[in-house]
Copies of this chain bind each other. A is one copy, B any other.
């Protein structure tokens, strides 16, 4: 069986994702679609709107065959490390392709771009450090460093967030020497950050914004979502009384900043360049999470960067912990959140060829990366009522979601 990997957040799974799934399947002629998905917290630092189990279920019900968990240590990171974690995970399951959405839908410029980058890597690195030293954030500095080696004015337009991610995937595949062939399909019209829903394909950002504002499923959102997603979103709201957003975590973050010492704050991943002082200075004044972000944000501390730092603070993830995972070349384990019958057949077929433990229950395996995962899940569920928290957390201890084909 031929497998195609997708790198996703599904926050939530929408019609654009259906399109990505179908086009990728067609493009790569794959039998099995394997998604590696961020868990509790996302690449830009937010808590997911509903938990990973409900999101995985919606994806399985809509045609994905296997949903793997992208470990927290990679999920809540800048593009390069996010991509590295995703490719590591997909490699472990021997996928043949990875297929991502891009503006032009042509893989050649990405490959050429990578070769150009390699030829100019020294200059790139030196520029990157220069821009970082000048006080730019990592994404800003890398963008300018890419410009300095003429990569952005070349065939890959790195001013587009999706292209940056795509380029990072190609780079990770090459750097990890993974036997995965990168492919790309053209994205549909809706931009990454579009905030209004106007078609039946809308960005996840716009869908979240609308339903979080209304605190209910709107007809606009319903039009942009597969039935399975509408169902999972409604189920989650029904069981827990909420869809998650950063505001829910404000009292917890306040307590942590107010009671932890400057040294303790400084040990947290993402608390850099004196941010610990700024956190202490602003915490008393902040009236909401949104207000706090406004007080904290500068050119240097971007919104995304601060959100990621807050996720690390909430999960007590330290610089020391993350350092370990920046350079490993093989996943210590792969966690399967869910699969269809077809996905299960694929796993059976490759099981003898793979040398990485496949797990679903977090107690099946002992690893520091999995401990961090458990902390992230617990931190994520913090705002829920205790009874719901307990039920939801019990999913960590059961097998993966298995979706019978007949159930679709």
| Contacts from A to B (Cβ < 8 Å) | 250-252, 254-255, 258-261, 264, 284, 286-288, 314-316, 374-375, 378-379, 382-383, 386-387, 389-390, 393
Contact = CB atoms under 8 A, between A and B. Distances in A.
Contacts of A261: 316
A291 to B, nearest CB: 9
Copies in the complex: 2
A389 B250 CA distance: 12
B252 A375 contact: no
A375 B258 contact: yes
A288 B383 CA distance: 14
A112 to B, nearest CB: 45
A255 B377 CA distance: 10
A379 B255 contact: yes
A251 to B, nearest CB: 6
B387 A287 contact: yes
Contacts of A389: 254
A18 B48 CA distance: 54
B390 A316 contact: no
A339 to B, nearest CB: 26
A386 B255 contact: no
A393 B254 CA distance: 13
Contacts of A378: 254-255, 258-259
Which of A286, A287, A378, A393 is packed against the most chain B CB atoms within 10 Å? A378
Contacts of A382: 251, 254-255
A181 to B, nearest CB: 40
B284 A393 contact: yes
Contacts of A375: 258-259
A386 B287 contact: yes
Nearest to A372: B259
Contacts of A250: 386
Contacts of A316: 259-261, 264
Contacts of A259: 314-316, 375, 378-379
Closest A-B pairs by Cβ, 5 of them: A258-B378, A259-B316, A259-B375, A255-B382, A287-B386
B383 A251 contact: yes
